[in-house]
């Protein structure tokens, strides 16, 4: 009987990763064809459609997240501009992060930790959205895992090749998003801590062999160089942004925790936090210095949050994401190991019940989390086409007026001044005009909006997009 069970487990472990990837693809593929949102259309018009890649790179709009637009540029020029082609790199990074997390957890923790943490990542609504959006957040996760994996491997066996690869990965991550600098700072601080720890306690015997060697010295110098330059860039950007104080500043970490887990803070979030804290306990020799690594990671994130407290979103801290699920999986396994055998059946039943609750909660969360990744330009244009005829003229104004043209089969006229709009208004007998409500909107466009609002015949709201039907 034991042999049968053992063979079954070995068989499942052999095909575990392919099955996990299949589930991941099924959950993500349905989101790949949804309409572009603001940031994606901004990339299409200001980067993808640039005369050449050199001109596109010099666009100041993409200085803080340059790497993904370059990948999108290549994908769209190879496969054609579409939702699928622009989001394909994000999907590949998202699937790759699942693979890397599985291998990392299996090497340094256990096969069960690998299965649980990868399963959490696969089913996470936030990861699904990031893996199907033309932004660099899934790449941040992939590179954060790759950097950590390589860093731990480098500590085990110093190598110039590994050190150079790690530097390249960290630099690449920095070009995907400025906040990847937290990973670089994390490794600098952890490297210094481990070195100091071993120097003052030479009796330590573990897998990690740290020394002030040429490899370690050059690696530390490169880390510090990129870390300082990145920190300066973040400081310069933060000076131009409005700060958040009081309740907003305190509320942000709670928002980050709730969004990452797609769980309400009470009671599921508290249970998850408790399990995560248990998972940080280094209870075996396979994961030396793991607790210090995670502690410094969160410390760096707190410092970055305080350094730039204005205009930040939870997704900027995507590098934290896989390690939250890793700690959660470790906590579940650790709790099951320390409790008496008689209680374990009840614990397993509780786990199953808790996972069902999480699954149900996650199934209802994507629509809420999708708000920042879906602006309904296509929905607005298709509705306008359905209520109009070929003689109806389309127009748009506001800071996003150009984006409606992407989905429109007829020209969408845009205006710089109120007088241009009035000339158009008096010339056309039937008009539908699109306006994205939100700053920045020029005084001339505000004047157009107020005139349209007063004279409108029919208005239909699509979240933050208004379709005005001025004339019949």
Report which of residues 350 and 200 the model is more confident about. Answer: 350
Distance CA 312, CA 310 (A): 6
pLDDT at 118: 95
- pLDDT band at 245, cuts 50/70/90? very low
User: Which of the residue ranges 32-46, 92-106, 218-232 would you say has the lowest mean pLDDT?
Assistant: 218-232
Q: What is the mean pLDDT of residues 423-428?
A: 88
Whether pLDDT at 187 is above 70: yes
Q: What angle do the packed helices 67-79 and 83-108 form, to 10 degrees?
A: 120
pLDDT at 57: 83
- pLDDT band at 235, cuts 50/70/90? low
pLDDT at 340: 83
Q: What is the mean pLDDT of residues 285-291?
A: 68
Best mean pLDDT range from 168-177, 191-200, 273-282, 344-353? 168-177
Q: What is the mean pLDDT of residues 77-100?
A: 96
Whether pLDDT at 394 is above 90: yes
Whether pLDDT at 470 is above 50: yes
Residues in CB range of 95: below 8 A, 6 or more apart: 21, 24, 25, 28, 131
Whether pLDDT at 171 is above 90: no
Residue after which a domain boundary falls, among 346, 373, 400: 373
pLDDT at 165: 87
Q: What is the mean pLDDT of residues 356-374?
A: 80
Give φ, ψ of 307 to 5 degrees. Answer: -70, -35
- pLDDT band at 247, cuts 50/70/90? very low
Residue after which a domain boundary falls, among 353, 373, 393: 373
Q: How much of the chain exceeds pLDDT 70, in percent?
A: 78
pLDDT at 320: 94
Whether pLDDT at 244 is above 80: no
The 10 Å Cβ neighbour count of residue 295 is: 15
Helix, strand or coil for residue 458? strand
Q: What is the mean pLDDT of residues 230-255?
A: 58
Residues in CB range of 101: below 8 A, 6 or more apart: 114, 117, 118, 121, 145, 322, 325, 326
pLDDT at 222: 56
**What is the maximum alpha-carbon separation in the chain?**
87
Report which of residues 365 and 381 the model is more confident about. Answer: 381
Shared-domain flag, residues 364 and 302: yes
pLDDT at 249: 63
Whether pLDDT at 212 is above 50: no
Shared-domain flag, residues 316 and 199: yes
- Domain of residue 443 covers 377-469
Whether pLDDT at 124 is above 60: yes
Shared-domain flag, residues 369 and 384: no
Distance CA 404, CA 410 (A): 10
Q: What is the mean pLDDT of residues 230-259?
A: 62
Whether pLDDT at 412 is above 90: yes
Q: What is the mean pLDDT of residues 52-60?
A: 81
Shared-domain flag, residues 343 and 256: yes
Report which of residues 244 and 99 the model is more confident about. Answer: 99
Report helix, strand and coil shares of the chain as percent, to nearest 5. 70, 5, 25
Q: What is the mean pLDDT of residues 175-182?
A: 88
User: Which of the residue ranges 74-78, 164-168, 274-278 would you say has the lowest mean pLDDT?
Assistant: 164-168
pLDDT at 444: 87
Residue after which a domain boundary falls, among 373, 404, 428: 373
Helix, strand or coil for residue 284? coil
Shared-domain flag, residues 253 and 141: yes
- pLDDT band at 33, cuts 50/70/90? very high
Best mean pLDDT range from 22-31, 227-236, 255-264, 328-337? 22-31
Shared-domain flag, residues 175 and 225: yes
Q: Are 248 and 311 in contact (CB under 8 A)?
A: no
- pLDDT band at 148, cuts 50/70/90? very high
Shared-domain flag, residues 307 and 443: no
Shared-domain flag, residues 157 and 202: yes
Q: Are strands 431-436 and 393-397 parallel, antiparallel or unpaired?
A: parallel
Let me know how long the chain is. 472
Q: What is the mean pLDDT of residues 249-254?
A: 77
pLDDT at 271: 86
Helix, strand or coil for residue 383? helix
pLDDT at 86: 96
Q: How much of the chain exceeds pLDDT 90, in percent?
A: 30
Shared-domain flag, residues 351 and 385: no
pLDDT at 213: 45
The pTM assigned to this predicted structure is: 0.87
pLDDT at 90: 97
How many domains are contained in the chain?
2
Shared-domain flag, residues 285 and 384: no
Distance CA 225, CA 75 (A): 32
Shared-domain flag, residues 271 and 327: yes
Across the chain, what does the average pLDDT equal?
81
What is residue 399's DSSP assignment? Answer: T
pLDDT at 228: 57
Shared-domain flag, residues 438 and 368: no
pLDDT at 406: 93
């Amino acid at each position: 009987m034991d042999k049968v069970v053992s063979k079954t487990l070995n068989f499942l472990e052999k095909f575990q990763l392919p099955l996990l990837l299949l589930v991941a693809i099924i959950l993500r593929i349905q989101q790949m064809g949804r309409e572009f949102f603001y940031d994606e259309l901004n990339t299409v018009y200001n980067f993808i459609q640039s005369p050449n890649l050199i001109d596109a790179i010099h666009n100041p709009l993409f200085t803080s997240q340059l790497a993904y637009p370059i990948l999108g540029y290549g994908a769209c020029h190879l496969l054609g501009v579409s939702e699928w082609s622009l989001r394909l790199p994000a999907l590949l990074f998202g699937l790759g992060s699942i693979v890397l997390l599985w291998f990392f957890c299996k090497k340094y923790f256990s096969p069960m930790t690998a299965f649980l943490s990868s399963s959490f990542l696969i089913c996470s609504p936030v990861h699904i959205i990031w893996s199907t959006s033309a932004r660099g957040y899934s790449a941040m996760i992939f590179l954060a895992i790759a950097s950590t994996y390589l860093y731990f491997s480098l500590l085990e066996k110093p190598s110039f090749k590994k050190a150079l690869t790690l530097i390249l990965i960290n630099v690449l991550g920095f070009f995907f998003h400025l906040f990847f600098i937290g990973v670089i700072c994390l490794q600098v601080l952890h490297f210094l801590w481990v070195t100091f720890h071993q120097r003052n306690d030479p009796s330590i015997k573990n897998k990690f062999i740290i020394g002030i060697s040429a490899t370690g010295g050059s690696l530390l110098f490169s880390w510090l160089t990129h870390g300082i330059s990145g920190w300066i860039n973040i400081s310069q950007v933060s000076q131009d942004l409005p700060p958040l104080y009081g309740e907003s500043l305190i509320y942000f970490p709670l928002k980050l925790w709730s969004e990452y887990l797609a769980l309400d803070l009470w009671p599921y979030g508290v249970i998850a936090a408790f399990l995560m804290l248990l998972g940080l306990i280094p209870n075996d020799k396979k994961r030396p210095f793991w607790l210090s690594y995670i502690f410094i990671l969160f410390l760096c994130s707190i410092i970055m949050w305080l350094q730039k407290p204005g205009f930040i979103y939870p997704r900027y801290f995507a590098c934290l994401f896989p390690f939250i699920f890793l700690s959660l999986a470790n906590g579940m396994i650790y709790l099951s190991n320390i409790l008496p055998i008689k209680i374990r059946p009840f614990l397993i039943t509780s786990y199953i019940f808790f996972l069902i609750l999480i699954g149900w909660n996650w199934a209802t969360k994507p629509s809420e989390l999708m708000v920042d990744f879906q602006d309904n330009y296509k929905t607005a244009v298709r509705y306008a086409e359905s209520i109009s005829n070929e003689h109806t003229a389309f127009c748009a104004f506001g800071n996003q007026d150009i984006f409606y043209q992407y989905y429109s089969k007829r020209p969408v006229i845009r205006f710089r001044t109120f007088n241009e709009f009035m000339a158009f208004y008096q010339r056309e007998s039937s008009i539908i005009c699109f306006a994205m409500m939100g700053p920045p909107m020029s005084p001339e466009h505000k004047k157009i909006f107020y005139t349209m609002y007063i004279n409108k015949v029919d208005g239909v709201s699509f979240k933050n997009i208004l379709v005005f039907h001025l004339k019949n």
